[in-house]
Amino acid sequence: MNFKIVTALPQLLEGPLNHSIMQRGQDKGLLQIELVNLREYGLGPHKQIDDYQFGGGAGMVMMCEPLASCIEDLCSKAEFDEIIYLTPDGEKFNQKLANQLSLKKNIMLICGHYKGIDERIREKYVSKEISIGDYVLSGGELAAAIVVDSVGRLLPGVLNNETSALLDSFQDGLLAPPVYTRPRNFKDMEVPEVLLSGNDAAIENWRYEMSLERTKKRRPDILEDND
């Protein structure tokens, strides 16, 4: 799967996407993540990419021309299944959307800054708009990193143990159960006996019950959504 991330601040993304599981996915050739520096498509000697907004008001807007030439350049080299703009007024990101995106081959992500991007770019090129939550970030980069990480780890072979993604919180509409490792006793707190029993069916049943209880207590909205 290939991600092209259009950004004016590629440095922001170099760290999060080049370590651990995302690095492993890239090393195995399962995932390609390319950062595309929008500044290279900027206008004039200063490589301008933003300007004042029509109608007045504080905050700059990312201009049409640099974004359009960048997007058209990328589209001339590959066919994109989705061109996604990260924005607080987009569709709320969740595990279901991550699962859907993990079935695509080529995805372009566009990171906005300042007041956002000129509306005409959204109308002409963008196929999907995603928000990672009801809060405003300084730019779309961290949101893009979250989308790439959560989608990338779903690709078969990226995680060592493929089934572990299937047991993640949200994957079956429930939060994940609690987990324990050594020591068996920590400050007088014991690991639940059933996990030491070796009885796989009992363990599976306990985990399901814990998931259900945790979901009811912490996120009843998820259970309602599944009904």
Q: Does 143 bind ligand ADE (CB under 6 A)?
A: yes
Extended beta strands in 75-133, E state? 82-92, 106-111, 128-131
Q: Which stretch binds ligand ADE (CB under 6 A): 6-14, 132-140, 187-195, 196-204?
A: 132-140
Q: Does 135 bind ligand ADE (CB under 6 A)?
A: yes
The helix or strand, by DSSP H or E, that contains position 185, with its residue range, turns out to be strand 185-186
Q: Which stretch binds ligand ADE (CB under 6 A): 2-10, 64-72, 128-136, 202-210?
A: 128-136
Residue 4: phi and psi, rounded to 5, are -115, 125
* Residues written for the chain: 227
| Distance, CA of 167 to CA of 213 (rounded, Å) | 16
Residues near 18 by beta carbon (within 8 Å), at least 6 away in sequence: 26
| Distance, CA of 66 to CA of 211 (rounded, Å) | 48
Q: Which is nearer to ligand ADE, 36 or 137 (CB)?
A: 137
Cα–Cα distance list, 216 to 157, 167, 173 (Å): 32, 18, 11
CB of 136 to ligand ADE, least distance (A): 5
Structure-block tokens of residue 215: 């979901």
CB of 8 to ligand ADE, least distance (A): 13
Using CB under 6 A, pick the residue from 17, 31, 50, 87 that binds ligand ADE: 87
CB of 86 to ligand ADE, least distance (A): 4
Q: Does 54 bind ligand ADE (CB under 6 A)?
A: no
Q: Which stretch binds ligand ADE (CB under 6 A): 32-40, 94-102, 136-144, 151-159?
A: 136-144
Q: Please report where in the chains the tokens 């259009």 appear, as a residue.
A: 6
| Distance, CA of 38 to CA of 111 (rounded, Å) | 10
Q: Does 178 bind ligand ADE (CB under 6 A)?
A: no
Q: Which is nearer to ligand ADE, 131 or 215 (CB)?
A: 131
| Distance, CA of 16 to CA of 142 (rounded, Å) | 9
Q: Which is nearer to ligand ADE, 91 or 162 (CB)?
A: 91
Using CB under 6 A, pick the residue from 22, 38, 86, 101 that binds ligand ADE: 86
| Distance, CA of 216 to CA of 219 (rounded, Å) | 6
CB of 132 to ligand ADE, least distance (A): 4
Q: Does 145 bind ligand ADE (CB under 6 A)?
A: no
Give the binding site for ligand ADE (CB under 6 A).
86-88, 131-133, 135-137, 140, 143
